[in-house]
Amino acid sequence: MKRNSLLTMALAVLAAVMGLFLWLDEKRAGKSRQLEKEDWQAILTADQAEKLNRVVLSAAGQRMVFVFDEDYWTWFMKEPAEGPLDMIYAEDFLEGLQQLEREKIVELEPEDLTKYQLDPPAAKITCKFKDDDQPLQILIGKLNFTSTNLFAKLEDEPAVFLISTDLMKFLVSEPEVWRAKSLVFRRPEDLVSMETRIEDPILREELPSVLETTMVYQGQKKGPARWMIVKPFLRPADGRRLEFLMTRLNRYAGPKIIDVPDGDLSRFGLDAPRARVILKFIDGTSEEIRIGAWEEETGRIYAQNSLRPEVVTIDPDLVVALLRPPLESRSLLAGMEGRTVFRLRMEYPRQPDQNFELLHEQGPIFQFDFDPQKKSARQKLGRLLAPYRHMDVKYIYYQPPYPRENFGLDPPQFLLQAYDEDGHLALDIAAGDTVFTENQFFTYFEDRKQNSVVMLPVDIYSQTPWTREKLEISPAQVERIKQRGERSRDAQRR
């Protein structure tokens, strides 16, 4: 019995070892088969995909030549027209080309290629690579019977195989589709300075928020380098907004390209541009974006890059983004974090008899200067100042002159000044009209500390206690506030 048990255990161990050996062998074989499958499927090797620098696309009776320019780090069309490629469209094509695979071998050594429409081919893609004189030619034929794949073969290999139909739209695209609608051709991350010049004064009336500025990317005494506006004032710029703008101009600025074979730019208002944007890059090169006249049919604006002969039409909002300094978002009470208002002055130019000051008395209690018996509370002041403390402004005018009457600021509804405990003026604003636009209420303000017109996303007159009556509290409320303060102090002493 004991001998039988030992024999059974030995056989079980042997079976387990053999099973493990067979499983590991199958895993190795499976991995090997997978590698072999990937090897025969890939048309471009990983090294070729990385070094691809020239593509010739012959299809639908036309020939297009694309070349990668390392100076601009982008693709250019060389034939039939010359100019940068639309990077969104080109990247879709290049990604599809670099990932192209043999999905199924149809015939290893076909005698007749005409049945696949491969002699002559319906299309041909010729790929050339950096530091390699040997091109790769992909012949593309017709759709298979189920219209799910295309027949294809390599020029120097006999086998016919199936590829995805993902490249079909590119094979039949007109050259115009490939052309870039860009206004910036260098890499946005290489930008180091940007200067705007407004040549036509009327443009300031048509687009009132534009401003001549100079911005530079510079190091800081504390913290990393950042974008700064250095002219006409010194303020931090919003680097993310600027990067987004440059990327948009680099990839797709507008819907239409206009060739100007005779070089006459006067009909586009670009012989004497209305505005210029000078961009300088880290390698010392520069580009200039020129802003021209309005296109009457569409309401867009003609623009041109100084390095290119063609003209692009762009939306007015893009012009505004170009000519408006991208200031960092801020509140009107920026810098008052953790600090308290101790004095507040309100003036009503339309009702001067309502003017008053609120002075800190004790704890959370404030008194009116015209009648010390009249009180207000810090909670009321908090509600009054909350929009100026917590809401970011949107700039309308960055500096004078500006038409105050257009914003209900001549005269304003009220003037508000707030001082901190050290007597520093923390807030100095004039309140204008409230408007309803973009499905939201906005109120115009003049920031008298920074000499600018801004708007806040709030109906200030319905959301805050901005009058004497709304700020005043009753004697009973004053007493309750004082009692709460006494109870709090007693609790702390205990």
Digit-coded pLDDT (tens) for 294-310: 998 889 999 999 988 88
What is the CA 228 to chain-centroid distance, rounded? 18
User: CB neighbours of 99 closer than 8 A, spacing ≥ 6?
Assistant: none
Residue partners of 142: CB distance under 8 A and separation at least 6 = 116, 117, 122, 150, 151
| Lowest mean per-residue pLDDT among 128-137, 246-255, 468-477 | 246-255
Select the more confidently predicted residue: 12 or 487.
487
What is the model's pLDDT at position 336? 76
Q: Is 346:356 a contact under the CB 8 Å cutoff?
A: yes
Task: For residue range 308-334, list pLDDT tens digits in order.
Answer: 888 999 998 899 899 988 888 889 988
In Å, how far are 43, 101, 130, 484 from 37, measured between CA atoms?
12, 11, 27, 79
Average pLDDT of the residues of the chain: 86
Compute how many other C-beta atoms are within 10 angstroms of the C-beta atom of residue 244: 14
Question: Has residue 79 been placed in a domain?
Answer: yes
Asked if residue 56 belongs to a domain, the reply is yes
Last residue of a domain, one of 323, 358, 392: 323
353 located within any domain = yes
**Assigned token pair, 291:** 């802003």
* Cα–Cα dist 246/40, whole Å: 42
Q: What band does 37 get if pLDDT is binned at 50, 70 and 90?
A: very low
Segment 382-390 shows an average pLDDT of 92
319 three-class SS: helix
Residues 369 and 441 in one domain: yes
169 and 216 housed in the same domain: no
With contact defined as beta carbons under 8 Å apart, do 323 and 208 qualify?
Answer: no
> pLDDT band at 481, cuts 50/70/90?
confident
In the block, residue with structure tokens 């099973």: 19
Q: What DSSP designation does 481 have?
A: H
Model pLDDT, residue 30: 43
Alpha carbon of 378 to those of 255, 354, 360, 391, 474: distances in Å?
Answer: 55, 20, 9, 19, 14
pLDDT value of residue 2: 44
Do residues 44 and 152 touch, judged by C-beta distance below 8 A? no
Is residue 197 within 8 A of residue 221, CB to CB? The reply is no
What 3-state class would DSSP assign to 178? helix
β-pairing, 440-447 with 452-456? Answer: antiparallel
Q: Is the CB of residue 63 less than 8 Å from the CB of residue 57?
A: yes
Kindly report the number of other CB atoms within 10 A of residue 432's CB atom. Answer: 24
| CA 134 – CA 158 distance, rounded (Å) | 18
Contact 343, 359 (CB under 8 A): yes
Same domain membership, residue 172 and residue 192: no
> Rounded CA gap, 28 and 31, in Å?
5
Q: Is residue 23 part of a domain?
A: no
Residues 354 and 440 in one domain: yes
Give the position of tokens 């239409």: 256
pLDDT of residue 31: 38
Report the share of the chain in percent with pLDDT over 70: 89
**What digits encode the pLDDT tens for the residues 78-98?**
998 888 888 888 889 999 999
Q: Say if 36 falls within a structural domain.
A: no
State how beta strands 440-447 and 375-377 pair. Answer: unpaired
The answer to the question of residue 374 being in a domain is: yes
* Residue 135 neighbours by CB under 8 Å, 6+ apart: 126, 127, 128
> Residues 306, 345: one domain?
no
Q: Which of 69-78, 260-269, 346-355 has the highest mean pLDDT?
A: 346-355
Do 202 and 298 lie in a common domain? yes
Number of domains in the chain: 3
Q: Give me the mean pLDDT over the 180-200 stretch.
A: 89
Q: Domain end: 135, 153, 178, which one?
A: 178
How would residue 35 be classed by pLDDT, with cut points 50, 70 and 90?
very low
* pLDDT score at 40: 65
Q: Which of 153, 178, 203 is the last residue of a domain?
A: 178
Task: State the DSSP H helix or E strand holding residue 426, giving kind and residue range, or none if neither.
Answer: strand 425-437
CA dihedral 87, 91, 94, 97 (to 10 degrees): -150
211 plus 142 within the same structural domain = no
- Whether 215 and 314 map to the same domain: the answer is yes
Least Cα distance to 257 among 140, 377, 143, 177 occurs for: 177
The H or E element that residue 161 is part of is strand 160-163
Q: Are residues 233 and 158 in the same domain?
A: no
> Is 5 within a domain?
no
User: Rounded to an integer, what distance in angstroms lies between the CA atom of residue 494 and that of residue 492?
Assistant: 5
Beta-strand runs (E) in 184-325: 191-198, 214-218, 226-231, 235-236, 256-258, 275-281, 286-294, 301-305, 311-314
**More confident: 115 or 338:** 115
In DSSP terms, which residues pair with 414 in a beta bridge?
431
Six-digit token pair at 348? 């009503």
Query: Distance of CA 451 to CAs 202, 282, 292, 395, Å?
Result: 22, 34, 30, 11
Same domain membership, residue 247 and residue 202: yes
- Give which of 112, 103, 100, 104 is closest to 136, Cα–Cα: 100
Same-domain pairing of 345 and 483: yes
Kindly report whether the global pTM for this prediction surpasses the value 0.85.
no
Q: Which of 348, 345, 337 is nearest to 461 (CA)?
A: 348
- Is pLDDT above 50 for 152? yes
Amino acid 253: pLDDT:
80
Q: Which domain holds residue 348?
A: 341-487
Within this chain, do residues 375 and 443 fall inside the same structural domain, yes or no?
A: yes
Secondary structure letter of residue 405 according to DSSP: G
Answer yes or no: is 127 within a domain: yes
